[in-house]
Amino acid sequence: MKSVNIFKVIDIAQAHDGSLGVLHSYIDAVAPTGIDAIKFQVHIAEAESSPYEKFRVKFGYEDVTRYDYWKRMEFTEHQWLEIKKHCEDVGMEFMATPFSVKAVELLEQVGVKRYKVGSGDVQNFLLLENIARTAKPIILSTGMSSLDEIDEAIRFLKPFGNEVSVLQCTTKYPLGPEEVGLNVIAELKQRFNLPTGLSDHSGMIFPSLAAVAFGASIIEVHVIFDKSTFGPDSSSSLTIDELKLLVDGIGFFEKMLNNPVDKAKNPEIFSEEREIFGRSLSYRRDLRAGERVSFEMLESKKPAGYGLSPKRFREILGKRLKRDVKEGDFVKEEDLL
């Protein structure tokens, strides 16, 4: 049986609110949880945004427009290099989602190992080709896409030969249990025969745990220090404590999935327990020699092996006793005619 190993990704997204110091604090806070990769979103405002973006309205107390917000989320190449080094120093893979061709070029300079494609870019074949040309693995999130559109994207990527994975995702922040779409994980696995997982925005640990049981091999969640913090993903993120609980839960699932139980071996494995908790037939009252055994005369008492097995009780109904027996005596073959 192939070993089950869940690739666990956390998305910092904009939880750092544009602060390099806060971003590095997240790296230190997340590292002990056991996450495999820490993912960032690489926004370059002038490359990805235009004046026609619907969200170009007053976005918060600090930003007049969404463009200003994306601008505040930017870091320099040198800063990204330091971020990547910090991730690797504490044992996590540095991952990123680029939101422009320019961001792909930046990440190539930084040296990212794999790319995550956001749900909004599944049909952005220009971006997909720029990523595909790097020959690096691609994780494709599918929150806004139909199955046909995912088909298109995967067919587009196939000639490049990249390792591709697909994530079920629902583009809502946060989302309820009726919107998670666990059923889609199996649909994606069957349809594409690719590693499949869940990118969750519920702000709860339950969808990811359930997804592992449904066959997900990749789990991605957002993380936040405090869910009341300003930001587009705060309410749909896990706290550090919740993240640790999720990682522990996934580890438990991995052990269960990697250790299937063979029930055929139970008699051997639990031989001692079967004797302790098993039963032997016994008599419910004093009986005299010559009486016929009836259903109402029988009881089953612990342990096993001191009398006939209770599963054989029908075999002795109507048989005569050779000798007197007392209440509580075990039923033995030699007592019966």
Please report, for the domain that includes residue 276, its CATH number.
3.90.1210.10
Q: Mark whether 283 and 232 lie in a shared domain.
A: no
Are 185 and 57 in a shared domain?
yes
Q: Residue 236 carries which DSSP code?
A: G
pLDDT 10s digits, 223-274: 999 988 877 778 889 999 999 999 999 999 999 999 999 999 999 999 999 9
Taking the CA atoms of residue 63, residue 66, residue 71 and residue 73 in that order, the dihedral angle to the nearest 10 degrees is: 90
Domain endpoint, select from 257, 285, 307: 257
The position carrying tokens 């820490």 is 38
- Quick one: pLDDT band at residue 50, thresholds 50, 70, 90? confident
pLDDT for res 43: 95
Indicate whether 89 and 135 sit together in one domain: yes
Residues 310 and 249 grouped into a single domain: no
DSSP codes joined into one string, 39-103: EEEE--HHHH--TT-TT-S--SSS-SSHHHHHHHT---HHHHHHHHHHHHHTT-EEEEEESSHHH
Q: Are 154 and 162 in contact (CB under 8 A)?
A: no
DSSP 274-330: HHHH--EEEESS-B-TTPBP-GGGEEEESSTTSS--GGGHHHHTTPBBSS-B-TTPB
Question: Does 274 lie in the same domain as 240?
Answer: no
What does the pLDDT read at residue 241?
Answer: 96
Task: Summarize the confidence of residues 97-115 as an average pLDDT.
Answer: 98
Q: Nearest to residue 40, comparing CAs of 218, 292, 223, 176?
A: 223
**pLDDT higher than threshold 80 for residue 36:** yes
Q: Domain for residue 1, yes or no?
A: no
Same domain, 237 and 301: no
On whether both 153 and 285 belong to a single domain, the answer is no
Among 216, 237, 257, residue at a domain's last position: 257
State which of 257, 282, 306 marks the end of a domain: 257
Q: What is the pLDDT of residues 59-89, one digit of tens each?
A: 667 888 888 888 999 999 999 999 999 999 9
Do residues 237 and 285 both lie within one domain? no
The span from the CA of 35 to the CA of 215, in Å, is: 19
Per-residue DSSP letter, 268: H
Q: Is residue 103 part of a domain?
A: yes
More confident residue, 86 or 172: 86
Structural domain of 103: 7-257
Task: Confirm whether 179 is domain-assigned.
Answer: yes
Query: Domain of 99: which CATH number?
Result: 3.20.20.70
How many domains is the chain partitioned into structurally?
A: 2
Q: Could you tell me how many residues make up the chain?
A: 337
Is 227 within a domain? yes
Q: What is the pLDDT of residues 285-324, one digit of tens each?
A: 999 999 999 999 999 999 999 999 999 999 999 999 999 9
Asked if residue 59 and residue 140 are part of one domain, the reply reads yes
Decide if 2 is inside a domain. no
Note whether 48 and 104 are same-domain residues. yes
Say yes or no: 232 and 273 in one domain: no
Q: What is the pLDDT of residue 158?
A: 97
* pLDDT given for residue 66 in this prediction: 82
Are 314 and 227 contained in the same domain? no
